[in-house]
């Protein structure tokens, strides 16, 4: 069983479109995260979500919005996609704050 | 979050031990030292974490300097599968996010 799963694995879309990436964790963790890894391979935290408390990295454009229908899911919605949004997006979860489990990533390509 | 400094890259031979260094001279008393690795085309994977004492698990050992200003991740016998980018991260207890730096790209030669 995959602990943290993301769908889709690959996403190619045109500029200006709105898209969503889904993330599910079956670990019963309370905290979930979204990270972005750009072409230079830097991993940057975008959001963390714990018990309905959302902590946003202030550098993230408001076109990005996380939505959590329940504790096991944290989806990422992106509006008006731009070329610079092309990256690999990773979802992660953690219970104790010490050990985070990451998904396999979603490679988003905006053309 | 305090900053860490790691070499950009390291090479190792298969079956030999690997010592990956990390400097964190501005570490605070409540900062834990975390290590993650990222294999090619995969998400980051937890390796180990510690506060003051050396730590061992099935993947690796973490040696922490007495003044806590540096630490070393030890892979006892490198395998080809250990080729990855290794990240040393400081985090204040269970709070705060994991802030990834550039990491060390480890290459393992057969």
Q: Which residue has the higher pLDDT, B97 or A6?
A: A6
Span A8-26, average pLDDT = 98
The Cα B58–Cα A5 span in angstroms is 24
Is residue B98's pLDDT more than 60? yes
pLDDT score of B94: 60
Facing residue for B42 by CB, picked from A35, A98, A104: A104
Q: Which residue has the higher pLDDT, A97 or B27?
A: B27
SS3 A108: strand
Interface contact B45-A41, CB threshold 8 A: no
Q: Which residue has the higher pLDDT, B64 or A57?
A: B64
pLDDT score of A83: 96
What tens digit of pLDDT does each residue of B38-84 get?
Answer: 999 999 999 999 999 999 999 999 999 999 999 999 999 999 999 99
At a CB cut-off of 8 Å and minimum separation 6, what does A36 contact? A43, A44, A46, A87, A88, A89, A90
pLDDT score of B13: 96
In the structure, what pLDDT confidence band is assigned to residue A56 with cuts at 50, 70 and 90? confident
Kindly report the nearest CA distance between residue B105 and chain A, in angstroms. 11
In the structure, what pLDDT confidence band is assigned to residue A25 with cuts at 50, 70 and 90? very high
Instruction: Encode burial over A33-70: b for 16+ CB neighbours within 10 A, e otherwise.
Output: bbbbbeeeeebbbbbbbbeeeeeeeeebeeebbbebee
Is residue B1's pLDDT more than 60? no
The Cα B51–Cα A77 span in angstroms is 37
Nearest of B42, B49, B99, B97 to residue A103 by alpha carbon: B42
pLDDT score of B93: 62
Kindly report the nearest CA distance between residue A56 and chain B, in angstroms. 11
The Cα B74–Cα A46 span in angstroms is 30
Interface contact A45-B98, CB threshold 8 A: yes
Facing residue for A99 by CB, picked from B41, B46, B87: B46
DSSP output for B5-40: B--SEEEEETTS-EEEEEE-TT--TTEEEEEEEE-T
Interfacial A residues in 17-56 facing B (CB < 8 Å): 33, 35, 41-45, 48, 55
pLDDT score of B95: 62
SS3 A74: coil
- CB atoms under 10 Å from CB of B75, counted, come to 21
List the strands of the sheet with B45-50, edge to edge.
B9-13, B104-109, B84-92, B31-38, B45-50
In the structure, what pLDDT confidence band is assigned to residue A7 with cuts at 50, 70 and 90? very high
- CB atoms under 10 Å from CB of B7, counted, come to 15
B49 to chain A: which residues are within 8 Å by CB?
98-99
Span A26-51, average pLDDT = 90
What tens digit of pLDDT does each residue of B3-29 get?
Answer: 899 999 999 999 999 999 999 999 988
């Amino acid at each position: 069983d995959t602990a943290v799963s993301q769908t889709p694995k690959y996403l190619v879309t045109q500029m200006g479109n709105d898209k969503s990436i889904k993330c599910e964790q079956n670990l019963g963790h309370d905290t979930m995260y979204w990270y972005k890894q750009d072409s230079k391979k830097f991993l940057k935290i975008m959001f963390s979500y714990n018990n309905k408390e959302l902590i946003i990295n202030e550098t993230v454009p408001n076109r990005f919005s996380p939505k959590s229908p329940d504790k096991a899911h944290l989806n990422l919605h992106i509006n008006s996609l731009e070329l610079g949004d092309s990256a690999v997006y990773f979802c992660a979860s953690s219970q104790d704050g010490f050990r985070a489990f990451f998904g396999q990533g979603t490679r988003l390509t905006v053309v | 979050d305090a900053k860490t400094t790691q070499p950009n890259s390291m090479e190792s031979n298969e079956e030999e031990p690997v010592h990956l260094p990390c400097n964190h001279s501005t570490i605070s008393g409540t900062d834990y030292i975390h290590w993650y690795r990222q294999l090619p085309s995969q998400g980051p994977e937890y390796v180990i974490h510690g506060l003051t004492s050396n730590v061992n698990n099935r993947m690796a050992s973490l040696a922490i300097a007495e003044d806590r200003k540096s630490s070393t991740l030890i892979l006892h016998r490198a395998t080809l599968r250990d080729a990855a980018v290794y990240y040393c991260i400081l985090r204040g207890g269970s709070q705060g996010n994991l802030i990834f730096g550039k990491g060390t790209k480890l290459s393992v030669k057969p």
